[in-house]
Structure 1
Amino acid sequence: MTGSSRANRDAARDEALRRLSARSGIPRPPVVNAAEHVSHVLRRAIIEGLLAPGTQLSEQHLGAALGVSRNTLREGFRLLTHDRLLVHHRNRGVFVPRPDAADLADLYRLRQALEGGALRVAGPVAPEHLRTLAADVAAGDAAASRRRWRQVGTANMDFHEHLLMLAGSPRIVEIGRQVLAETRLAFLHLDAHALHEPFLARNKGLLALLRTNRLQQAAEELQAYLRDSEQQVLATLTAR
């Protein structure tokens, strides 16, 4: 990559982070402190595929993009390092990590416990939750029709986060967001079209089960869904 193309890429990413920071729905001070806001924005950037594995994070560029001091940015980095979404290399800086096959296998075990567990303890699904899940499915279909496969991946991550919310547990959602962000990092290594297209229909199938409150059947389908996804991802990673 030439210096000018790298500069253009970085400028586009910084502008995307500025828009993300201003987006409604991401907690802002004084609801959370500034460092927590930074961590929310960068976690969402990972979910949306804006920060690829191996990316070095520049304090100067990110501080300017997010409108925060270096000390605040470093505290946000520390929070995300604790969540395994960033890694600090001594004398080199802060980087977005590269999950390997062992990481993926562990993440899928945790997703089975969290997402499957959320469906097993959920009560009748409220209409507002169904509307949110339906909007995620529609967003995935719309992105697929435009062949925007990275956006399909984002809609899929949102769908799985909203499944976690059915448990009614803020702690499950908080842990699940971290796990989904780590999973997305691994997905960014892969062909997004081949990875996400097969699961568009399966998201619709899960939604149909939830609409009729067939939660046990939905939990069993989700277990098979995640098992199939894991096998697909791991087969691709080990073949590289």
Structure 2
Amino acid sequence: MNSGLSLADHITLELRADIIGGRLLPGMALVENELVFAYNASRNTIREALHRLGQDGLTRYVRNKGVMVRKLGQDDVRDLFKVRRTLELQAISVSPPLRDDQSGRMLEALEATELAREREDWRAVGTHSLAFHQHIVGLLRSPLFDEFFTNVVAQLRLAFCAAPDESRFQAPWLARDRQIHDFLAEGDKRAAADAMSAYLDDSEHLLLRMLAPTPHH
């Protein structure tokens, strides 16, 4: 346990990890009493953790219902992809050739994605794919950006949950992630940036289509 972190910090990080792992889904209630019991923490500590998740854009307070995991809309997705383009494309453009350990971490995430796909565990596919993109942002070597992007990833995870058919949504990306890695490993930054740019455009359009309000007949 990191001694610099309070219990509220730990609970915030665990709940965020549950969102990234697809265990907490949009619209789920975070019930104070249950969390007090689950984490053996005081009510104040739980409130502080929930407040932080709200500040990070992961929960919202709904009158008469309490704190719920956020559902994201199209504007949220556009904003998240603005951030992704800025950070991921910048990371590719400024990174020196991939070191073995950086490449290794990316390959591990791709491997985990592959295994999850074979198990048809589409939620895990989404989580591991996002881990690959966290390693891309990691090329910036900025703990501040890493922390910020982890919140972005958690919000993206909530957006993915809107997919009526997560298998169809998650299926096409693995090969493209692998291609981005291979370009980076070869030191072809321009090809990697082009591939990433097209990837982000396609991913954003697909998510926006899924989140489009359905016309009422």
Query: Normalised by the size of structure 1, how large is the TM-score?
Result: 0.84
The corresponding residue for 1:78 is: 51
Task: Output one character per residue of 1:84-118: Cα deviation in whole Å (capped at 9) or x when no partner.
Answer: 11112344311111101111111111111111111
The corresponding residue for 2:198 is: 224
The corresponding residue for 1:66 is: 39
CA contact (8 A) 1:35 1:72 kept: yes
Report the secondary structure of 2:192's partner residue.
helix
Moved more, 138-147 or 29-38: 29-38
Deviation at 1:29, TM superposition (A): 4.3
Report the secondary structure of 2:70's partner residue.
coil
How far apart in 2 are the matches of 1:89 and 1:239?
21
Deviation at 1:67, TM superposition (A): 2.9
How far apart in 1 are the matches of 2:147 and 2:189?
22
Matches within 5 A, 1:110-149: 110-149=83-122
AA aligned opposite 2:192: A
CA contact (8 A) 2:8 2:49 kept: yes
How far apart in 2 are the matches of 1:52 and 1:165?
26
Deviation at 1:140, TM superposition (A): 0.6
Structure 1 pair 101/154, CA: closer, same or farther in 2 (3 Å)? same
The corresponding residue for 2:80 is: 107
Task: Output one character per residue of 1:130-160: Cα deviation in whole Å (capped at 9) or x when no partner.
Answer: 1111011001111111111111111111111
AA aligned opposite 1:57: L
Deviation at 1:127, TM superposition (A): 1.1
Note the residue ranges of structure 2 that are not aligned, 5 or more in a row. Answer: none
How far apart in 2 are the matches of 1:36 and 1:239?
36
How far apart in 2 are the matches of 1:47 and 1:235?
22
Deviation at 1:69, TM superposition (A): 2.0
The corresponding residue for 2:18 is: 45
Report the secondary structure of 1:94's partner residue.
strand
AA aligned opposite 2:121: R
How far apart in 1 are the matches of 2:9 and 2:96?
31
CA contact (8 A) 1:122 1:168 kept: no
Deviation at 1:175, TM superposition (A): 1.4
Report the secondary structure of 1:95's partner residue.
strand
Deviation at 1:239, TM superposition (A): 6.0
How far apart in 2 are the matches of 1:220 and 1:64?
49
Report the secondary structure of 2:201's partner residue.
helix
The corresponding residue for 1:203 is: 177
How far apart in 2 are the matches of 1:51 and 1:134?
27
- Percent of residue pairs identical: 35
CA contact (8 A) 1:108 1:230 kept: yes
Give the ranges of 4+ consecutive aligned residues of structure 1 lying more than 3 Å apart after TM superposition: none
How far apart in 1 are the matches of 2:98 and 2:212?
38
CA contact (8 A) 1:139 1:155 kept: yes
The corresponding residue for 2:136 is: 163
Within the candidate set 144, 149, 158, 1:185 is matched to 158
Note the residue ranges of structure 1 that are not aligned, 5 or more in a row. Answer: 1-27
Structure 1 pair 74/226, CA: closer, same or farther in 2 (3 Å)? same
CA contact (8 A) 2:97 2:185 kept: no
CA contact (8 A) 2:162 2:210 kept: no
